[in-house]
Amino acid sequence: MTDRDTVVRHGASVETLEAIADAFNAHDLDAIMEFFAEDCALDMPRGPDPWGTRVTGKAAVRDALASRFAGLPDVHYGDARHWVSGDLGVSEWLLTGTAADGRPVRVRGCDHWEFREGKVARKDSYWKIVET
């Protein structure tokens, strides 16, 4: 059993959130999706509704995350802090990267995590609006 297997089984913990962040920074979709439940939901920070854009189901979440990596090919989540209470977690980070059009991106944000039976049931992402 790998360290990642141990983290995945334990669900909501600071160690799990750190492992998820490591997988995001490695742009490893397979590793990221190991943490998610089959019926998971992802609320993206932008979209037509007050909750942004919501995608549901593991395949749709994977596609949305692949699109994020395509739009910010060198995306990195740094300066991270994580908190957990029961089946809920929060990750706060500084996202940096370069948009596909060459524009640099540097923004603070956070993710709200909901776990169910050791897996991510919902990831809700928020970004600060940076005006230049």
pTM of the model as a whole:
0.89
What is the average pLDDT value for the chain, to the nearest integer?
A: 92
CA distances from 105 to 82, 93, 96, 130, 132 (A): 22, 13, 5, 9, 11
Query: Mean pLDDT, to the nearest integer, of 104-124?
Result: 97
Q: Reading across the β-sheet that carries 119-127, which strands appear in turn?
A: 52-56, 36-49, 119-127, 104-116, 88-98, 76-85
The percentage of the chain sitting over the pLDDT mark of 90, rounded to a whole number, equals: 87
Instruction: Say yes or no to pLDDT of 7 above 60.
Output: no
Instruction: Say yes or no to pLDDT of 1 above 50.
Output: no
User: What structural domains does the chain harbor?
Assistant: 3-127 (3.10.450.50)
Structure confidence at residue 10 (pLDDT): 59
